[in-house]
Structure 1
Amino acid sequence: MAVVADDETFLLSGRQCFSILDWVAEQSRNGLVLRAFLASIALAALRPKEALALRVRDMELADDGSGVLLIHPQRQERRVEETDGAGAVRSVPAGPDLVALLKAEVTRRDLRHDDAIFVLDDGRPLTAPVYQEVWRQARAAVLAAHEIDSPLGRNVSALRDACIAAWLRNGDQTAAHIVTVAECAGMSAARLAERFAHCLRKPTPAEIPWGRLTAALRLPAVPSEPMAAARRP
């Protein structure tokens, strides 16, 4: 059964995400660039518009497989999902798999410093209608019949949701961890906790530090005898 992230979105499993990426890569037209584009959403939790805007100069890809993507704020209406610092450039870590795909795309197309990363094989820009149609085809090819008729992975942004959920589940889920995930995803910690509440582990009663909570709320000591009222002059 799919897991609800909010009222309209179901989370894809890791297997389903990578099956879709593999199917896209096998397409003779634009397969490699579309796989790299979708991987930037699935592995770095980028919004599709952010991925489309990515240029070579926005990537710091090291030889050891580590990397950082610099995501610039998009000119669009602010949404509840966005962070309070929506005007700031944010740094998103890129793992070895994504770094390898991005490096391969730069080499394959001999891209320069200011070039856009995701360009179709004929040189035209990658646009929403193009990737949305490929997504529809990939979803139909990979998912089971009963899943195709459900909200599971209905939009490309489902890859982003799956990535954020994985980041949350594979950590200590401390406040610092949740804030870090929110910063990487470009949204507020409050919105993150609200939308992905099912990914956050609830502590058992035994794990709650009741003693420290009680001590923190304890009132300061007061004299047992009432103080004499001050005399008026």
Structure 2
Amino acid sequence: MEFNPVDKLRVRSTRKKVAAVIDRRVVVNPRLAEELLTALSYVGRRGRFWRGERLVAFFACMYFGALRPGEALALREQDCHLPAKGWGRLTLVGSRPRSGKRWTDSGEAHDKRGLKHRAETEPRGVPIPPDLVSILRQHIDRFGVAKDGRLFHSDRGNVVGASTYSRVWEEARCLALTPHQVASPLAGRPYDLRHAAVSLWLNAGVPATEVADRAGHSVDVLLKVYAKCIDGQEATVNQRIEDALRGSDQ
């Protein structure tokens, strides 16, 4: 027999491999992050406010606190400690990821779930810098909160849809970035602000255990996923090789 009959039963998977490591090209630096948050304030007028104005604090939570979009959507006023001065703290207790009405028990588009990588009722504390404290205080003063205390809501008090904040983000990118940057992967998705936050913390020398705790990751997954976003390693290795090469000539 010239072939193995079992070979005919094997079906090749058409599923594409998903990269487990974050592409460092999506990560914005602090200057660009600030420009993007500013640009949001000029996106689309609706009623008395610009559409983007209502979402500045939402995106700021992802950049300054490394929140996932669903975690930011579930954030309530009672979950926020926002002092007049200094650092504040967010106590995350749930998430509102988009699942579609067909797949939720409540019939709502955004399901109510516990935090990722946590027991169902286990919270996660996230210290937040004065910049985010100020942004959240201003947001609450200007836009109020929904009936259940949620900070980010539509005009009717509903959960902000993923399509809505994604469109606003696309418009902000066009305002804040150069045409070359817009065509690149740089901050291509709102989620990339979270990647920028985690990368910033790691590059600032914050211990991986602390970064993992704040971001809601395990340490091993954190270091694997963000391995290519940690600056300085390539330069250090290059210098060591250069020193060794110079030493060999002496």
TM-score, length-scaled by structure 1: 0.73
Alpha-carbon distance, 1:94 to partner: 1.1
Counterpart in the other structure of 1:43: 64
Q: Any conservation in 2 of the 1:72–1:89 contact (CA below 8 Å)? A: yes
Distance 1:48 1:31 in 2: 16
Alpha-carbon distance, 1:124 to partner: 4.3
Alpha-carbon distance, 1:110 to partner: 4.0
Q: Any conservation in 1 of the 2:144–2:151 contact (CA below 8 Å)? A: no
Distance 2:148 2:198 in 1: 29
Q: Any conservation in 2 of the 1:90–1:186 contact (CA below 8 Å)? A: yes
Within 5 Å, which residues of 2 pair with 1:115-126?
115-121=149-155, 123-126=157-160
Counterpart in the other structure of 2:128: 94
Please list the CA deviations of residues 9-37 of structure 1 after superposition, one character each: whole Å capped at 9, or x if unmatched.
62112121111110112344233321111
Distance 1:125 1:73 in 2: 14
Aligned length in residues: 193
From the superposition, tell whether residues 26 and 149 of structure 1 become closer, same or farther in structure 2 (CA, over 3 Å).
closer
Distance 1:114 1:142 in 2: 34
Distance 1:124 1:72 in 2: 19
Give yes or no for the alignment of 1:132 onto 2:132. Answer: no
Q: Any conservation in 1 of the 2:146–2:157 contact (CA below 8 Å)? A: no
Which residue identity is paired with 2:166? Answer: Q
Give yes or no for the alignment of 1:71 onto 2:92. Answer: yes
Which residue identity is paired with 2:210? Answer: T
Q: Any conservation in 2 of the 1:56–1:113 contact (CA below 8 Å)? A: no
Counterpart in the other structure of 1:31: 52
2:221 counterpart (178, 191, 208): 191
Counterpart in the other structure of 2:22: 6
Alpha-carbon distance, 1:187 to partner: 0.8
Alpha-carbon distance, 1:57 to partner: 1.0
Q: Which runs of 5+ in 2 are unaligned?
A: 1-20, 100-114, 238-250
Q: Any conservation in 2 of the 1:12–1:159 contact (CA below 8 Å)? A: yes
Counterpart in the other structure of 2:180: 146
Alpha-carbon distance, 1:201 to partner: 5.2
Q: Any conservation in 1 of the 2:73–2:95 contact (CA below 8 Å)? A: no
Q: Any conservation in 1 of the 2:74–2:96 contact (CA below 8 Å)? A: no
Please list the CA deviations of residues 43-101 of structure 1 after superposition, one character each: whole Å capped at 9, or x if unmatched.
10000110011011111112223211111243779xxxx97545421000111111111
Helix, strand or coil: the match of 1:152?
A: coil
Helix, strand or coil: the match of 1:21?
A: helix
Give yes or no for the alignment of 1:16 onto 2:32. Answer: yes
Q: CA RMSD in A?
A: 2.8
From the superposition, tell whether residues 189 and 34 of structure 1 become closer, same or farther in structure 2 (CA, over 3 Å).
same
Which residue identity is paired with 2:29? Answer: S
Q: Which runs of 5+ in 1 are unaligned?
A: 205-233
Which residue identity is paired with 2:42? Answer: E
Counterpart in the other structure of 1:209: none
**Percent identity of the aligned residues?**
32
Which residue identity is paired with 1:187? Answer: H
Q: Any conservation in 2 of the 1:11–1:161 contact (CA below 8 Å)? A: yes
Distance 1:100 1:8 in 2: 29
Within 5 Å, which residues of 2 pair with 1:166-205?
166-171=200-205, 177-198=207-228, 199=230, 202=233
